[in-house]
Structure 1
Amino acid sequence: MLWIFDTFGKVKKMNQFLCLIFVVVATTALGIGTAREVPNSRVNVLLLGASGNLAEKYLWQGFYNIHTTGLRTGDEIHVYPAATKNFEKANPILQRILVNNITTTDEEHKKQFLANNVSPYTQLRSDEQYKALGEKIKKDTIASGKRDAGLLVYMSVPPKFFGSISQYINDYLRPSSPDAWLRVIVEKPFGVNLMSAKDLAETLYKNLDVKEILLVDHYMGKQGLDAIRQLRKANPEFDKAFLNKNEVSKVEVAMLETEDCKGRTGFYDEVGVIRDTMQNHLMMMVALLGMDLEHADKTEADARRAVFDKLQTAAINDILHLAQYEDYNNHVNEDRAKWDEPLLDEPSKTPSYASIALKLENNIWEGVPFIFRSGKALDSRRAYTKVTFKNGGQLLFNLQGTTDGIDGSAIHCSLTLCASKLNLPEAWDHVDNSAEHFHAVGPKIPNAYEVLLRSALEGDVNNFVRLPEVIESWRVWSPLLRDLPKLELSTYKHGADLIPKDKLVESKHDEL
């Protein structure tokens, strides 16, 4: 027999069985000595490109962190690393990554993760290899005794492999359980123009449903971009009253970098600033600010596509500033010499900076200029969405760097009514809530790729781009991209601040 005191201080007897129940309930309520519940379902992950640069820098650490903190769905994850290289070439690289690039304060926990949640490397090049992997995944899942929750395939591979891999996925890797889902993450580029984007869509749609395809724009995992969505949802009355053509004079979306293109010109010279950032990252900023919130509650991807559908097609007359930093051609030739490629016969006409003003021709934003601004080798590294009101106030969503004195991921509003009217997004905190300003910062979150991995595993698809959005985005930009070679570029010095010059052009553009 064991003894306890009742609520009146009297000693009572309690048999061991009842005491055990009492102790379990009490310790659970107090959070004492409780272990995390063992998952009864399992998500299998196929990481294609497992020894590549993206996996090395972000993905493996992301998977380990998610395993450590657990999924909201309660599922366990099990990763199957694979690529086209044979085992002898790829496995030493993979092992180096797993040892050196997954950081932790608990080496024993990491050892258990690698032993129990990561399978040996698999080469995937042929039907037979994909078929064998599909059978292995099913056998492993059955042997684990866990329910098959779904399969996530991360295609960190060049676009030329998308077609064949999507067919292999459809033929050999689909989960057999009717309740299990399939999600396929596809890394950009998603084409280089409208025609190639349509070709990509046709290729993927042959084997995958549109809802199974998740396109990655890593900016969608950034807190400052999600802040646009969250602040609007938290303040529907403010949103309706002030984010419209009657109150707003202009909107700026920007991604500015201090880094130049040296060492990467083989990629950048074929892409340029519009394809690199405007057609994707900056378009997402515009979409989240311009979308219809009621529509977004149903299917956000459709609401974002509807914004692109009403965005005017970019043309030469919409360019405010198009330029290239002075050392760009030297960097191209240095890279070509390093790679034993012929030097340029004539200077490259690839722009490294652009400022372009487009109009969103829907009922809410009609006539308001949306200014896209992005470039390399500039004076500061920052990214932001800025709304300027007709009365001079501003609403700033800062993603990174320092903009107008606001540092890091933050929301800042200098419109007087913001301080008293705006509600904070969930988990955000006030920094300044004086009579003149509203300034809030978000909670500390993981890097963008970890956020997106978790979103895919938990089924939060709003953080991913859909192919219909991509096609509409290319419709906006492809005509201008076709005409760019006809244009002369101005030049600028490394570390220049080009925004003051842009604003002089903006005023003239507004008068047209």
Structure 2
Amino acid sequence: MLAIDNSCIVIFGASGDLTQRMLMPALYKLFTQQKLPTAFVILGVSRSTYSDQAFRDKLINNIPASAVINKQLLADFCQRIFYQSIDTANVNDYAILKDRISKLNDTFKLENNALFYMATPPSLYSVIAQHLAAHHLNNEQKGWKRLVVEKPFGYDLDSAITLDKALYQHFQEQQIYRIDHYLGKETVQNMLVLRFANSIFEPLWNGKYIDYIEVTGAEALGVEKRGGYYDGSGAMRDMLQNHLLQVIAMVAMEPPSVINADSMRDEVVKVLQCLKPLSEHDLKHNLVLGQYTESKVRGEDLSAYRAEAGVPDDSRTETYVGLKMFINNWRWNGVPFYIRTGKRMPTRVTEVVIHFKKTPHPVFSAHAPENKLIIRIQPDEGIVLGFGLKQPGSGFESQEVAMDFHYSDLKKTELLTAYERLLLDLIKGDATLFSRSDAVRACWNFVQPILDYKKRSFSLYGYASGTWGPVEAEHLLIKDGHKWRSPCKNLTDTDYCEL
């Protein structure tokens, strides 16, 4: 087990939404569970002007009342929080930051270990790395130094390569942690245990027994107040390129030789490099791009994407992506993977559905229900296995039944949220669940043809808010004799979904 070293957790962009809404509540939860180091401090850094106490007061307001076990614990946590105002674009200001870190090191005996979390716009990633290095804050002669990069890791393949080069000038790969909160979800990690630790699944996890696989990443909300940002991103960059391809890698990877960061990430890269390149035929016939339109759902008027604040009236940005893709290796040759992700869909859900082939017996297969394994990542995390049993009465007619498991049913088990788990791994130095540079490039390499295709004339299909996307996306499966599963917000195996 990796040691938890005393350390200084430096958060750039400390006055921003990510820090207040996700990072600080997660660190507080870890503190209450006694999972943080014996000696640690959190140093918030941004341009805004706060005293230490004013910054603490601001953060307390964002910690849910239900999370406060007792006021003394909260007070103790706040005494570890400090703030330093600097201009992150000004290299000279980093002398002030270095001096503050040095004083905190001496006071709290932090052993010169520092974690630099960049909760900032991507444009500042290379700037912050360069300025940290200019003041030797990347030097590991005394204590480790880790740099945390939030997605997006680039805007396309070329920019991802440029970002890597900029970071590598000042930090080594083992110091860089690219964080994708999807990989911190318990069910994503559990896919590996489900596959490799169970002999009832492991021999069947290949193209001989699996017919097709679908991956859904749906959101019920629209772009909210992020229209300006989202219009420069779109569903492909926002969800498919990172989150969903990483999920597919977990589903499809080979078993690692040992359980450690290098071995696990080696297998992730191998399967991502086996993604079948998208041809011109794929772009025209196996890709559906959509954009939500206005509708009325449960009495609520939902705006069209182009009516959202910050979105141009003639925007061609996709809020939905449906894609049929393949993996070119011995395990998955010929097995279609269907991916869909979109905003303003009937419910918020991320799940993987493994559809097994029917039995070859001509009598029993005629009316046999489909065998499928539903792996729910969010919400209501769990697993459902659907299979056929005989209907009561005479004859051998079968009906579908299900065995289900919900993480919420586990007694005396409190699951860490994705950020809680990943922040703990950061402090431990466990890079298993963090994206490596070659994996990021493999993902961009796969989706680059879609980005190039979008620069040309392409079809963009409308879909009413509150529906499962353009009707054209249904044909991706129908033409192959398949159909999408309609997931509910609860993990159930029915045809019902929120309307």
What TM-score results when the alignment is normalised by the length of structure 2?
0.80
Deviations 1:27-46 (A, max 9, x none): xxxxxxxxxxxx99521110
Contact 2:139 2:145 in 1 (8 A): no
Q: Could you tell me how far 1:502 is from its partner in structure 2? A: 3.7
Q: What SS does the aligned partner of 2:330 have?
A: coil
Distance 2:232 2:305 in 1: 14
Does 2:86 correspond to 1:123?
yes
Q: Which residue of 1 aligns with 2:333?
A: 366
Deviations 1:95-117 (A, max 9, x none): 443231134131122122212x1
- Within a 5 Å distance, the mapping from 1:82-121 to structure 2 comes to 82-83=45-46, 85-87=47-49, 94-103=55-64, 104-115=68-79, 117-121=80-84
Q: What SS does the aligned partner of 1:119 have?
A: strand
Q: Which residue of 2 aligns with 1:496?
A: 467
- Within a 5 Å distance, the mapping from 1:455-466 to structure 2 comes to 455-466=425-436
Match of 1:508 among 461, 479, 493: 479
Q: What SS does the aligned partner of 2:375 have?
A: strand
Q: Which residue of 1 aligns with 2:246?
A: 284
Q: What SS does the aligned partner of 1:71 have?
A: coil
Q: Which residue of 1 aligns with 2:386?
A: 414
Unpaired segments of 5 or more residues in structure 2?
295-301, 359-369, 390-399, 408-412, 483-499
Q: Which residue of 2 aligns with 1:441?
A: 406
Match of 2:457 among 482, 486, 491: 486
Distance 1:40 1:349 in 2: 48
Does 2:132 correspond to 1:158?
no
Root mean square deviation of aligned Cα: 2.9
Does 2:108 correspond to 1:144?
yes
Q: Could you tell me how far 1:322 is from its partner in structure 2? A: 2.5
Contact 2:55 2:82 in 1 (8 A): no
Moved more, 123-132 or 169-178: 169-178
Q: Could you tell me how far 1:137 is from its partner in structure 2? A: 2.1
Q: What letter is aligned with 1:161?
A: L
Report the count of equivalent residues. Answer: 437
Q: Which residue of 2 aligns with 1:472?
A: 442
Q: Could you tell me how far 1:375 is from its partner in structure 2? A: 0.7
Q: Which residue of 2 aligns with 1:428?
A: none
Distance 1:169 1:156 in 2: 15
- Within a 5 Å distance, the mapping from 1:183-194 to structure 2 comes to 183-194=146-157
Contact 2:249 2:272 in 1 (8 A): yes
Does 2:351 correspond to 1:384?
yes
The alpha-carbon distance between structure 1 residues 361 and 67, as it changes in their structure 2 partners (threshold 3 A), is same
Q: What SS does the aligned partner of 1:288 have?
A: helix
Q: What SS does the aligned partner of 1:486 have?
A: coil
Distance 1:320 1:477 in 2: 11
More helix by share: 1
Unpaired segments of 5 or more residues in structure 1?
1-38, 338-342, 402-407, 418-434
Deviations 1:410-453 (A, max 9, x none): 02222579xxxxxxxxxxxxxxxxx9644223343132212211
Distance 1:254 1:61 in 2: 28
Distance 1:225 1:132 in 2: 41
Q: What letter is aligned with 2:192?
A: R
The alpha-carbon distance between structure 1 residues 223 and 40, as it changes in their structure 2 partners (threshold 3 A), is closer
Q: Which residue of 1 aligns with 2:424?
A: 454
Q: Which residue of 1 aligns with 2:223?
A: 261
Distance 1:59 1:477 in 2: 30
Moved more, 165-174 or 494-503: 494-503
The alpha-carbon distance between structure 1 residues 248 and 164, as it changes in their structure 2 partners (threshold 3 A), is same
The alpha-carbon distance between structure 1 residues 172 and 65, as it changes in their structure 2 partners (threshold 3 A), is farther
Q: What letter is aligned with 1:450?
A: E
Match of 2:306 among 332, 335, 344: 332
The alpha-carbon distance between structure 1 residues 331 and 232, as it changes in their structure 2 partners (threshold 3 A), is closer
Q: Could you tell me how far 1:240 is from its partner in structure 2? A: 3.6
Match of 2:14 among 50, 60, 66: 50
Q: What SS does the aligned partner of 1:284 have?
A: helix
Q: What SS does the aligned partner of 1:121 have?
A: strand
Contact 1:266 1:332 in 2 (8 A): no
Q: Which residue of 2 aligns with 1:398?
A: 376
Whose radius of gyration is greater, 1 or 2?
Answer: 1
Match of 2:235 among 273, 287, 293: 273
